[in-house]
A and B are shown apart, each in its own frame.
Chain A
Amino acid sequence: MSGLVRVEGLTRIFDVSKPWLNRLIERLPKAMLTAVSDVSFEIPERKVYALVGESGSGKSTIGKMVVGLLRPSGGEVEIGGVNLAVETDPDRIEQVRSDIQMIFQDPFASLNPRWKVRDIIAEPVAARGGETKGLAEKLLEQVGLSAEDAGKFPHEFSGGQRQRICIARALASEPRLIVCDEPTSALDVSVQAQVLNLMSDLKDEFGLTYLFISHDLTVVQHMADTIGVLYLGRLVEEASPEDLFENPKHPYSQMLLAAAPKMDGFGREVDPPKGEIPDPINPPSGCAFHPRCPIAVDRCKRERPDLRTVRGARVACHLAE
């Protein structure tokens, strides 16, 4: 049995052209932004797969395509053997949809301020006509809030508590997969620790699978079983946390790890990484990282490296060994 989630050759292209009249007058070509390009990975059941990358690397776009909020321009996403984009049997679609839930970054924007917490949490079940009596109360206690909180409104809670409500809502339909898009980025460190611990506990308790999207390497290192590093819409390295943090093989992963602040780096004089993420509308030829890469050779400018297995990790670099 292969993984719960199988992503194959996933691609998403956005049309970011100006309106047609402007294009006509200013003689501009159409502008296409490739946010995600040929990304493939698998998530085995009950595992945590993390996607890390800087802004514009396409990590959130992948998350949205996995839950079905965006249609892929190419490639496919299969969850439990069902490809939502082409499946026609309504029963199977319904089943897979209730298997997937999502937790968003901003707990202030993702809860309806006019709804009581009880209704927010029960909504995923109520929408499918399920039994919701006592559900919100039970879930609130499971995420560390109290049953009385069900009658309150979102504004009565702090950021960490709101994120717990989001988690309770995600659990309501008894999903198998939860896609977490930066679930703790808006939280303070001590609250972040509480929420991350809660997420680990729930994973063990309910046998959940997480697709964990974050820009924070330390959080990812703590949570993930496998980490995929994205750069400009492509997977450049995929490895276990131990492998990635002790022995990063792609020069971009190396750069990212070196740049991350360290608790024991007192007065560390880092040699900061050069350059910035290039424009995704006109990405560099060959390997997209070559203009910033310290070890790039001529071949990197011409040929795009494919992911290949290098000592237990998958790396997209000509020079990795």
Chain B
Amino acid sequence: MTDTVLSVRDLVVEIPTRHAVLRPVDKVSYDIKRGEILGVVGESGAGKSMTGNAVIGLLDRPARITGGEIHLNGKQIDGLTMSEMRRIRGKEIGMVFQDPLTSLNPLIPIGDQLTETMLEHLDISRSEAEDRAVAALEEVGIPAARERIGSYPHEFSGGMRQRVVIALALSAEPSLVIADEPTTALDVSVQAQIIALLKRLCRERGTAVMLVTHDMGVIAEAADRVAVMYAGRLAELGPVRDVITSPRHPYTDGLMGSTPLASKGQARLRQIPGSMPRLGNLPTGCAFNPRCPKAQDQCRIDPSPSLATCDGRAACWYPILAEATA
């Protein structure tokens, strides 16, 4: 029995189009351990949601996995059939999406949605499932859970709905939860509640979490390690404190610098020139080189650096090394 819950190795997702084959996810590798929260950050189009969807086998056609392996608790799960995957989704992998209103069925009371998931995946009776549903709702902080079990999703506020979704994701006691922008649609005060809840539940149960978000502040507070994605590749992967305080990849550095949080008191925000290249039109060499302040000839010619070919933390030929701190 190993500690690694999810292991993704050289994952490649491709979308064939009329003109070219696009690679929204290109040779991405990472592990998530028991009880660990891995933050995945990046801007729109970086491939962060696509990576999550590939893991749960919910890629929209024509996108498909064309390379690499995904192991969940030591078992290979890419290449499983739809029905085999259905047994894993919900049971071994729980999911929390951005918009809680669209991830709940508006026509079914929340209690039934919870018990349905449990009956499907756990070997328990209906009354037992109902008791568990109440307990699950209480645990995520829904007041008067037993009375509200017959309520429909529209009767809850946005924050409460997201709590229901979390209860649902955890109802079959999965070993991995994929949370894709779970707080983006919520207000700041509710966001703090949801993040605290997710952290507490996962610590208590030892659930591994893949937290996909664009909010650096959320990552800083919730994640143990962080993966920074750019144009389908991992730009940097490391412990959250190291990546945020002393980023090695110039893109991470630019991203951190351009958040208003980081440039407190400065008249201007630091900005990265240009914008992320389109997938069909990636520059040769490192995908970041046209925007990179440190780009050299090697960056424009050599094939994209990867974590493995570089120092294991940043996929960059000339990483930023903080002086005197090892």
Chain A: residues with Cβ within 8 Å of the partner, total of 42
* A275: nearest chain-B partner, CB-CB: B189
Do residues A266 and B189 form an inter-chain contact, with CB atoms below 8 A?
A: no
From 70 to 124 in chain A, residues with beta carbon under 8 angstroms from any chain B beta carbon are none
- The yes or no answer to B221 lying at the interface (CB within 8 A) is yes
Chain A positions within 8 Å of B268 at CB level: 197, 200
How many Å from the CB of A252 to the closest CB on chain B? 9
The answer to whether residues A217 and B188 also contact, given A189-B258, A265-B221 and a CB cut-off of 8 A, is yes
* B193: nearest chain-A partner, CB-CB: A272
Chain A positions within 8 Å of B159 at CB level: 276
Give the segment of A128-136, A174-182, A254-262 that binds chain B. Answer: A254-262
Do residues B269 and A197 form an inter-chain contact, with CB atoms below 8 A?
A: yes
Chain A positions within 8 Å of B220 at CB level: 261-266
Do residues B258 and A193 form an inter-chain contact, with CB atoms below 8 A?
A: yes
Do residues B263 and A270 form an inter-chain contact, with CB atoms below 8 A?
A: no
Report the interface size class on chain B.
35 or more
Q: CA A216 – CA B270 in complex, angstroms?
A: 18
Q: CA A259 – CA B221 in complex, angstroms?
A: 11
Give the segment of B49-57, B90-98, B209-217 that binds chain A. Answer: B209-217
Residue-wise, chain A 231-273 has the 8 Å CB interface mask toward B (1 for contact) of 0000000000000000000000001101111111111111011
Chain B positions within 8 Å of A272 at CB level: 189, 192-193, 195-197
Q: CA A256 – CA B214 in complex, angstroms?
A: 20
Give the segment of A33-41, A218-226, A298-306 that binds chain B. Answer: A218-226
Chain B positions within 8 Å of A267 at CB level: 221
- The yes or no answer to B255 lying at the interface (CB within 8 A) is yes
Q: Which of A190, A262, A265, A266 contacts B258 (CB 8 A)?
A: A190
- The yes or no answer to A26 lying at the interface (CB within 8 A) is no
Chain A positions within 8 Å of B218 at CB level: 261
Chain A positions within 8 Å of B271 at CB level: 190, 193-194, 197
Chain A positions within 8 Å of B292 at CB level: none
- The yes or no answer to B86 lying at the interface (CB within 8 A) is no
Chain B positions within 8 Å of A259 at CB level: 188-189, 191-192
* A52: nearest chain-B partner, CB-CB: B188
Q: Which of A55, A193, A261 contacts B270 (CB 8 A)?
A: A193
How many Å from the CB of B185 to the closest CB on chain A? 10
Q: Which of A158, A200, A261 contacts B217 (CB 8 A)?
A: A261
Do residues A188 and B44 form an inter-chain contact, with CB atoms below 8 A?
A: yes
The answer to whether residues A222 and B221 also contact, given A54-B189, A196-B269, A261-B215 and a CB cut-off of 8 A, is no
Chain B positions within 8 Å of A188 at CB level: 43-44, 214
- The yes or no answer to B261 lying at the interface (CB within 8 A) is yes
Residue-wise, chain B 253-277 has the 8 Å CB interface mask toward A (1 for contact) of 0111011111110011111100100
How many Å from the CB of A130 to the closest CB on chain B? 33
From 142 to 192 in chain A, residues with beta carbon under 8 angstroms from any chain B beta carbon are 158-161, 188-192
Q: CA A272 – CA B245 in complex, angstroms?
A: 25
Chain B positions within 8 Å of A189 at CB level: 43, 214, 216, 255, 258-259
Chain A positions within 8 Å of B15 at CB level: none
Chain A positions within 8 Å of B241 at CB level: 266
Q: CA A149 – CA B193 in complex, angstroms?
A: 45
The answer to whether residues A262 and B217 also contact, given A189-B43, A193-B258 and a CB cut-off of 8 A, is yes
- The yes or no answer to B240 lying at the interface (CB within 8 A) is yes
Do residues B258 and A263 form an inter-chain contact, with CB atoms below 8 A?
A: no
The answer to whether residues A222 and B269 also contact, given A188-B214, A264-B220, A277-B187 and a CB cut-off of 8 A, is yes
Do residues B157 and A263 form an inter-chain contact, with CB atoms below 8 A?
A: no
Chain A positions within 8 Å of B187 at CB level: 54-55, 215, 277
Chain B positions within 8 Å of A217 at CB level: 188
* B266: nearest chain-A partner, CB-CB: A222
Do residues B190 and A270 form an inter-chain contact, with CB atoms below 8 A?
A: no
* B224: nearest chain-A partner, CB-CB: A267
Could you list 12 further interchain pairs (A-B, Cβ under 8 angstroms) beyond the known A55-B187, A188-B43?
A190-B254, A190-B258, A190-B275, A191-B43, A215-B187, A255-B189, A264-B245, A265-B217, A269-B196, A272-B196, A276-B160, A276-B190
Nearest 4 pairs of A and B residues by beta carbon = A261-B217, A193-B258, A259-B192, A188-B43
- A residues near B (Cβ < 8 Å) are 54-55, 158-161, 188-194, 196-197, 200, 215-219, 221-222, 255-256, 258-270, 272-273, 276-277
